[in-house]
């Protein structure tokens, strides 16, 4: 059951729409972009960060200034040195580099140099706002310093960022060159995501239109253009999408739409891995490394009956 405070909050949006739908749409977009307070870390998260501290100490840490703010990039070098092929890893919403540890370590063991970016408002990066446009700007800044990449690996929102960075979908931001894409539990349709967000807030039709207008103002393209499956259809980049049929945050159907984009996209099921456990699974990490190394014949995870 929704709390009284939340119901009051939704009522405020409903009332505001009748008075100023454009302003309400901007307020809704600002709320959508708001990131968690970095000072408020749960006990479980604090334990996870302490556990990952030795792992993070192995990286060289860079700070890049770009239009998205000051972002942190963690440089995990392999035994092959700084000239090893580079892979960029992008975490999801409410996540950070530490949570991508299993994937990063597996790629390093296979001889890759791994660059992991903390998106704006996350991890060691500055700010309290994040949206697809600012995330792509951040990735472009990392590419300018450390690219091109043998692969870009993105989890959840980070997967959507990876597709849009490779496709060059943000106005004024050049495409990021990569030989392969790996999308883990990634959403395809940004329009559907905003519809769900509007439904969660109880936004009316006029505010939903204003919200889409605000997205277009920030990204330079209509919201309808941001469908990852359509973008992949126009790309020739070999892509592996990995998704758990039991994912409760991003429906498995999103992965199916990616797969339908063309023969260059392959779908790997990871049953029982949910939305977040999937990035800590050694078999998933091994499948990613195999795909990045060979582009074919990646190690398969048994599908659910």
- In order along its 305 residues, the chain shows pLDDT tens digits of 345 445 555 566 666 666 777 888 888 899 899 998 887 889 999 999 999 999 999 999 999 999 999 999 999 998 777 779 999 999 999 999 999 999 999 999 999 999 999 999 999 999 999 999 999 999 999 999 999 999 999 999 999 999 999 999 999 999 999 999 999 999 999 999 999 998 888 888 889 999 999 999 999 999 999 999 999 999 989 999 999 999 999 999 999 999 999 999 999 999 999 999 999 999 999 999 999 998 533 333 433 33
Q: Is the dihedral of CA 290, 291, 292, 296 positive or negative?
A: positive
Largest CA distance in the chain: 62
Average pLDDT taken over every residue of the chain: 90
Using DSSP's 3-state secondary structure scheme, residue 34 falls into: strand
pLDDT digits over 169-219, tens only? Answer: 999 999 999 999 999 999 999 999 999 998 888 888 889 999 999 999 999
State which H helix or E strand residue 193 sits in: helix 190-201
Q: How far apart are CA 114 and CA 154, in angstroms?
A: 13
Residue 96's alpha-carbon distances to 33, 147, 185, 276, in angstroms, are 16, 20, 16, 12
The pLDDT of residue 11 is 64
Residue 179 CB contacts under 8 Å (≥ 6 apart), including other chains: 148, 149, 150, 151, 237, 238, 295
Q: For the full predicted model, state whether its pTM sits above 0.85.
A: yes
Q: Of 132, 130, 134, 114, which is closest to residue 122 (Cα–Cα)?
A: 130
């Amino acid at each position: 059951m929704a709390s009284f405070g939340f119901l009051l909050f939704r009522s405020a949006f409903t009332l505001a729409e009748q008075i100023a739908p454009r302003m309400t749409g901007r307020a809704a977009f600002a709320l959508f972009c708001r990131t968690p307070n970095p000072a408020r870390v749960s006990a479980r998260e604090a334990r996870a960060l302490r556990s990952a501290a030795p792992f993070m100490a192995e990286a060289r840490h860079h700070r890049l200034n770009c239009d998205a703010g000051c972002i942190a990039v963690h440089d995990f070098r392999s035994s092959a040195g700084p000239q090893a092929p580079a892979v960029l890893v992008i975490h999801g919403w409410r996540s950070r580099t530490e949570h991508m540890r299993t994937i990063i370590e597996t790629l390093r063991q296979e001889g890759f140099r791994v660059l992991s970016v903390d998106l704006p408002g996350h991890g060691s990066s500055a700010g309290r706002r994040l949206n697809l446009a600012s995330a792509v700007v951040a990735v472009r800044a990392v590419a300018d310093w450390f690219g091109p990449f043998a692969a870009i690996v993105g989890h959840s929102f980070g997967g959507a960022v990876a597709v849009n960075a490779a496709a060059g979908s943000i106005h004024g931001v050049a495409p990021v060159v990569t030989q392969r894409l790996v999308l883990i539990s990634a959403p395809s349709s940004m329009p559907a995501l905003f519809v769900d967000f509007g439904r969660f807030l109880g936004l009316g039709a006029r505010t939903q239109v204003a919200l889409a207008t605000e997205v277009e103002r920030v990204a330079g393209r209509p919201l309808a253009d941001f469908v990852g499956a359509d973008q992949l259809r126009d790309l020739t980049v070999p892509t592996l999408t990995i998704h758990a049929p039991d994912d409760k945050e991003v429906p498995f159907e999103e992965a199916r739409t990616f797969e339908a984009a063309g023969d260059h996209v392959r779908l790997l099921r990871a049953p029982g891995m949910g939305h977040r456990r999937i990035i800590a699974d050694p078999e998933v990490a091994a499948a990613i490394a195999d795909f990045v190394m060979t582009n074919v014949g990646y190690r398969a995870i048994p599908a659910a009956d």
